[in-house]
């Protein structure tokens, strides 16, 4: 777990609560009721039984912690299965990323893809990020290798900044894909217009996923790759992870 994630979940456990969400009072028969009542802003349905007897898993976005059944202790960190060396928390974190990304309609993304893609990735991008520009300069090669790229905007400077305004101009352009390509080359969108955009929703989703820089690449299995990955290296990684998934299913795990 990153330092940022640890701080986030520990803040939740202390007094900040989950973005001000009010606690709910579940049925008395639910053993999570007492725990939730001790953690401000926590709902019982955010607590799941963990692989460790007597410990519950507390989930907030893609941040995870483990809370004792008496609600007295919490551990912020990743849980490993010693026998298999599997990072159980990362597996759950990937599931959470898949769910969060799937909640965003593709109609609210910019998509560059071949006719018959083999893989689909979701990329959080910033128009003014040099490595984002490098990635986009090779978009034809990603597509040639069968990789479908779905873009969402994550202006690192935040709202009400030049990078944010550029993202809005691209979204409101008649041909968004073409406008993005020109913007990545440092060109201005011609005759920019205003319209309703999903930029704020993109940015909020990126924060929930733990995006700290761009490009941030979310794979189909929920893995998050921070930074630029060349087309050939990315497709090799995708092939490897796909085969690993097949092997895992074959082994009944």
Just list the catalytic residues: 126, 129, 132, 156
Give dist(CA 63, CA 76) in Å, integer: 9
* Count of C-beta atoms within a 10 Å radius of residue 70: 10
- CA 162/CA 202 separation, integer angstroms: 17
Extended strands (E) in the chain? 47-49, 55-60, 63-68, 74-75, 80-81, 86-87, 110-112, 119-125, 147-153, 216-218, 224-226
Residue 63 bridge partners (DSSP): 60
Structure tokens at 185: 């080359």
Q: Which two tokens stand for residue 231?
A: 């087309």
């Amino acid at each position: 777990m990153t330092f940022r994630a640890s701080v986030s979940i520990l803040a939740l456990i202390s007094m900040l609560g989950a973005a001000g969400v009010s606690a709910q009072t579940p049925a008395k028969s639910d053993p999570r009721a007492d725990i939730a009542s001790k953690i401000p802003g926590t709902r019982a349905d955010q607590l799941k039984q963990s692989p460790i007897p007597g410990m519950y898993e507390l989930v907030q976005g893609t941040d995870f912690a483990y809370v004792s059944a008496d609600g007295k202790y919490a551990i912020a960190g990743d849980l490993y299965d010693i026998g298999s060396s599997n990072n159980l928390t990362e597996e759950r974190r990937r599931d959470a990323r898949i769910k969060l990304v799937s909640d965003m309609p593709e109609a609210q993304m910019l998509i560059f893809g071949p006719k018959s893609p083999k893989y689909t990735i979701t990329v959080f991008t910033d128009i003014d990020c040099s490595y984002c520009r490098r990635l986009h300069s090779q978009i034809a090669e990603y597509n040639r290798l069968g990789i479908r790229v779905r873009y969402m905007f994550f202006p690192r400077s935040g709202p009400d900044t030049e990078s944010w305004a550029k993202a809005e101009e691209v979204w409101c352009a008649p041909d968004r894909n073409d406008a993005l390509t020109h913007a990545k080359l440092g060109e201005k969108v011609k005759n920019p217009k205003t319209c309703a955009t999903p930029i704020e929703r993109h940015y909020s989703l990126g924060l929930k996923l733990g995006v700290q820089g761009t490009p941030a690449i979310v794979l189909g299995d929920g893995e998050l790759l921070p930074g630029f990955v060349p087309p050939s290296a990315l497709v090799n990684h995708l092939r490897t992870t796909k085969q690993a998934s097949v092997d895992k299913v074959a082994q009944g795990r």
